[in-house]
């Protein structure tokens, strides 16, 4: 596969503050690459360096193999969909989409065909004369994407464009964006703090924290095998325990809870357990799992996301996913249960 | 409930109406009536108005005043726009307050004092001429004062702030990402200013222009003091009618002509720029 974007040792300092530190990655042509991180992690700075609005302190950005240092945003083969969408309020939908093509001084008829084609592609036929202020959130979204895509960029950068939408529409747009990307084949780099957006849409996701990439992986691997404690805590939900040490195959939390965890070759200091990895009343024949007696403290009903909070003998609390099916319907608060956790689902890390 | 609210509404409205009636409406009606009268006659007449159109000096003065006022308005925009853009989009937020304060200083001093200030700067023995003579670049002082140049400078100086402030207030709400988006789509600096920033600031530009135009066309001090004998500003004609020839009726007619013409020009400007008075006024 062709590397359409390569970023090497990219660093950005703002006076004392280091926003991006030694970031390395590449994106394959036609890929959907997401950068996932909490706000303030440096992901927007990274995006602005790729688009050319700020110059990197150190390192290199190569787009289609060409170094981008010193090339202004208007000359880079990338386009950006802004968080605020930044539609031009003084222009109608057609003029917004045609803006970039007109700057290229293209032939009038060509502009017209390309704009209409793109509007049709994002499902906005017949909206040409509408003012952008008259559109709904989802329509504005599509205008912003059309305005960038009509430029046929090598890479489309998206800066949390779904942030302003309500939940339902966001869910819908997630799928729509993914389909649109597949259909058009343009490389997308998507910036978000919403893990669900990153996991659903991307081929590969980079998790960013404090200016560094913690892990670059497929969504599934990121979720199944987080490489660092930060990724384990940030992607998906987890029960987190501080560990005080390890003796052979036994690890011990600071509260004194002891678990079997064979196969470790280092001394971890933090443990993550996903609520959905915890089994309720596991089959007695199952092997390679830890078993504990617990009492159900509360049941937090939330449809498919229902969880229960289980209290262990030592007072430790665990959030456990509670599948909504006949097997568990009889459980209620105060019941005694056995919980089981597979050894592989005990994710141990050394943070310090 | 409904009647109570209405009573409060009228109670608040009353002072406003009184103010409008006593200070604006009644004097204007009085002037309007006067403008159709001639001294010593009871009957109505158009004489004051025909006088204006038959005397070349009168209507030429009005033409000059209007065209200069338009010119000063355009100059004010050219000066004010970069300043407003700089203050809202370029300079760091914490300097905006102090810098805006500095802009306001001439207003605190008052127009007359700033005009004397300009006389000190521009006069034959003023700062500029003295400096150039001391440098040996010129032998005789340049005629900087008592001409159209000094008059336009004075008019510009006293009115430019009223252009800056409304443009600043519209530019403040301009999202920086609009500028970045335009640049990302391949627009250069000038295209961004022409296609994005100026259209966005249009309501502010138009309201600034209306204020500046009205201030300049109705100004008396700058043309009279800085413009010298030949300045021929229309307000001077009105002044002369009232206080030199004591022809109040003619003066009233001139006043109404000025009001009519300037309102007409503002209306045309609104039509041409496609702005609504309500939007510009807010």
DSSP B23-61: IIIHHHHHHHHHHT--TT--S---HHHHHHHH-HHHHHH
Give the mean pLDDT per block of 10 residues along chain A (352 residues). Answer: 90 91 93 93 92 92 92 91 92 95 92 94 90 90 93 93 84 89 92 90 93 94 92 90 88 89 88 93 89 92 90 90 88 91 91 77
CATH code, domain with A259: 2.40.50.140
Of A195, A97, A108, whose CA–CA distance to A151 is shortest?
A97
pLDDT value for A320: 93
A74 touches chain B (CB under 8 A): yes
Residues from chain A that touch B181, judged by Cβ atoms under 8 A, are 80, 82, 86, 88, 147
Q: How many CB pairs under 8 A join A and B?
A: 58
Last residue of a domain, one of A209, A233, A257: A233
Give the count of beta carbons closer than 10 Å to the beta carbon of residue A57: 15
Residue B67 has which token pair? 């065209």
Specify the pLDDT at position B142.
87
Interchain pair B180, A73: CB under 8 A = yes
Name residues whose C-beta falls within 8 Å of residue A151's C-beta, 6 or more positions apart in sequence.
Answer: A79, A100, A101, B185, B186
Same domain for A208 and A71, yes or no, is: yes
CB of A183 less than 8 A from some CB of B: no
Strand ranges inside chain A, DSSP E: 3-14, 17-28, 32-36, 58-63, 66-67, 78-81, 155-159, 187-192, 204-209, 212-217, 239-247, 250-253, 258-260, 270-273, 278-280, 289-300, 307-312, 317-321, 336-342, 347-349
Q: Which residue has the tokens 């308005």?
A: B73
Q: Which CATH number fits domain B47-281: 3.40.120.10, 1.10.3720.10, 3.40.50.720, 1.10.10.10?
A: 1.10.3720.10
- The beta-carbon neighbor of B185 closest among A53, A90, A100 is A100
A277 and A188 belong to one structural domain: no
Does any CB of chain B come closer than 8 Å to the CB of residue A151?
A: yes
Contact assessment for residue A5 and residue A187, using Cβ atoms and an 8 Å cutoff: yes
Q: Are residues A253 and A222 in the same domain?
A: no
Q: ipTM of the assembly?
A: 0.80
Q: Verify that A259 and A173 share a domain, yes or no.
A: no
Q: What chain A residue is nearest to B198 in terms of C-alpha separation?
A: A90
Answer with the one of A197, A214, A233 that is the final residue of a domain. A233
Same domain, A323 and A310: yes
The C-alpha atoms of residue A321 and residue B38 are separated, in whole angstroms, by 97
Structure tokens at B124: 């034959």
> For residue A80, what is the domain's CATH number?
3.40.50.300
Residue keyed to tokens 């530190």: A21
Residue that is written with structure tokens 């006389």 in the block:
B119
The pTM assigned to this predicted structure is: 0.80
Q: Phi and psi of A49, rounded to 5°?
A: -75, -40
Candidate from A86, A99, A103 with C-beta closest to B175: A86
Nearest chain B residue to A51 by CA distance is: B184
Output the pLDDT for position A148: 94
Q: How far apart are CA A321 and CA B110, in angstroms?
A: 74
DSSP code for A286 = -
Does A37 lie in the same domain as A10?
yes
Residues A81 and A187 in one domain: yes
Q: CA A296 to CA A300: how far, in whole Å?
A: 11
Claim to verify: residue A47 and residue A190 sit in the same structural domain: yes
Structural domain range at position A153: 3-233
From A207, A233, A259, the end of a domain falls on A233
* Contact residues, chain B, for A151 at CB < 8 Å: 185-186
| Residue-by-residue pLDDT tens, chain B, 282 positions | 556 667 888 888 899 999 999 998 999 999 899 899 888 788 888 888 998 999 998 999 999 999 999 999 999 999 999 999 999 999 888 898 899 888 888 888 888 899 999 999 998 888 999 999 999 888 888 888 888 999 999 999 999 999 999 999 999 999 999 999 999 999 989 999 999 999 999 999 999 999 999 999 999 999 999 988 777 899 998 998 898 888 889 999 999 999 999 999 999 988 888 877 766 665
Strand order in the sheet with A270-273: A258-260, A250-253, A239-247, A270-273, A347-349
Same domain membership, residue A328 and residue A205: no
CB B252 within 8 A of CB B34: yes
* Domains in chain A, number: 2
Report H helices in chain A.
43-51, 93-103, 108-121, 137-149, 167-184, 195-201, 219-224, 229-234
Do residues A106 and A216 both lie within one domain?
A: yes
Examine the domain organization and report whether A228 and A247 are in the same domain: no
State whether B184 and A83 contact (CB < 8 Å): no
CA distance to A49, A243, A274, per residue, from A228 (Å): 26, 15, 15
One domain, residues A83 and A162: yes
CB-based contact (8 Å) between A163 and chain B? no
Structure tokens at B209: 């222009």
């Amino acid at each position: 596969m062709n590397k359409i974007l390569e970023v090497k040792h990219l660093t950005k300092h703002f006076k004392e503050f280091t926003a991006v530190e030694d970031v390395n990655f590449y994106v394959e042509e036609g890929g959907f690459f997401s950068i996932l991180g909490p706000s303030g992690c440096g992901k927007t700075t990274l995006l602005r360096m790729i688009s050319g609005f700020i110059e990197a302190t150190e390192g290199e950005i190569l787009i289609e193999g060409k170094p981008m240092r010193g090339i202004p945003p208007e000359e880079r083969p990338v386009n950006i969909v802004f968080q605020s969408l930044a539609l031009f309020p003084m222009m109608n939908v057609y003029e917004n989409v045609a803006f970039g093509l007109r700057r290229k001084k293209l032939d009038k008829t060509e502009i017209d065909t390309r704009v209409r084609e793109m509007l049709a592609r994002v499902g906005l036929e017949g909206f040409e004369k509408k003012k952008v202020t008259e559109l709904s959130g989802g329509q504005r979204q599509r205008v912003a994407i059309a305005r960038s895509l009509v430029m046929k960029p090598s890479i489309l950068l998206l800066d949390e464009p779904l942030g302003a939408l309500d939940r339902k529409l966001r869910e819908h747009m997630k799928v729509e964006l993914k389909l649109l990307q597949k259909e058009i084949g343009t490389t997308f780099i998507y910036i978000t703090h919403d893990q669900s957006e990153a996991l659903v849409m991307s081929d590969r996701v980079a998790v960013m924290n404090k200016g560094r990439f913690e892990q670059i992986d497929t969504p599934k691997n990121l979720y199944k095998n987080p490489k660092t404690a930060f990724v384990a805590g940030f992607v998906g939900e987890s029960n987190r325990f501080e560990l005080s040490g390890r003796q052979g195959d036994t690890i011990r939390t600071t509260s004194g809870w002891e678990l079997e965890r064979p196969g470790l070759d280092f001394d971890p200091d933090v443990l993550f357990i996903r609520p959905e990895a915890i089994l309720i009343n596991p089959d007695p024949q199952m092997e390679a799992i830890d078993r504990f007696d617990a009492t159900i403290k509360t049941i937090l009903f939330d449809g498919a996301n229902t969880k229960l909070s289980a209290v262990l003998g030592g007072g430790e609390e665990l959030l456990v996913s509670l599948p909504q099916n006949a097997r568990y319907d009889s459980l209620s608060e105060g019941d005694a249960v056995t919980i089981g956790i597979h050894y592989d689902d005990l994710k141990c890390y050394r943070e310090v | 409930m409904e009647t109570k609210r209405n009573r409060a509404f009228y109670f608040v409205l009353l002072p406003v109406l009184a103010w409008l009636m006593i200070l604006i409406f009644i004097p204007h009606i009085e002037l309007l009536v006067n403008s159709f009268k001639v001294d010593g006659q009871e009957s109505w007449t158009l004489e004051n108005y025909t006088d204006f159109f038959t005397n070349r000096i009168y209507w030429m003065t009005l033409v000059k005043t209007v065209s200069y006022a338009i010119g000063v308005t355009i100059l004010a925009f050219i000066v004010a726009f970069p300043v407003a853009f700089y203050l809202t989009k370029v300079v760091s937020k914490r300097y905006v307050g102090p810098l805006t304060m500095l802009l306001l200083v001439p207003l605190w001093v008052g127009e007359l004092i700033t005009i004397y200030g300009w006389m000190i700067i521009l006069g034959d023995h003023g700062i500029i001429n003295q400096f150039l003579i001391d440098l040996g670049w010129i032998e005789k002082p340049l005629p900087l004062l008592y001409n159209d140049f000094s008059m336009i400078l004075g008019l510009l100086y006293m009115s430019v702030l009223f252009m800056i402030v409304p443009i600043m207030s519209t530019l403040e709400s301009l999202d920086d990402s609009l500028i970045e988006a335009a640049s990302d789509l391949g627009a250069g600096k000038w295209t961004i200013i022409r296609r994005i920033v100026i259209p966005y600031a249009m309501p502010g530009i138009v309201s600034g222009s209306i204020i500046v135009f009205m201030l300049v066309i109705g100004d008396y001090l700058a043309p009279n003091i800085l413009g010298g004998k030949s300045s021929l500003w229309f307000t001077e004609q009105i002044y002369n009618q009232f206080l030199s020839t004591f022809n109040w009726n003619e003066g009233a007619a001139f006043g109404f002509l000025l009001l009519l013409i300037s309102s007409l020009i503002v209306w045309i400007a609104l039509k041409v720029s496609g702005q609504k008075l309500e939007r510009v006024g807010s």
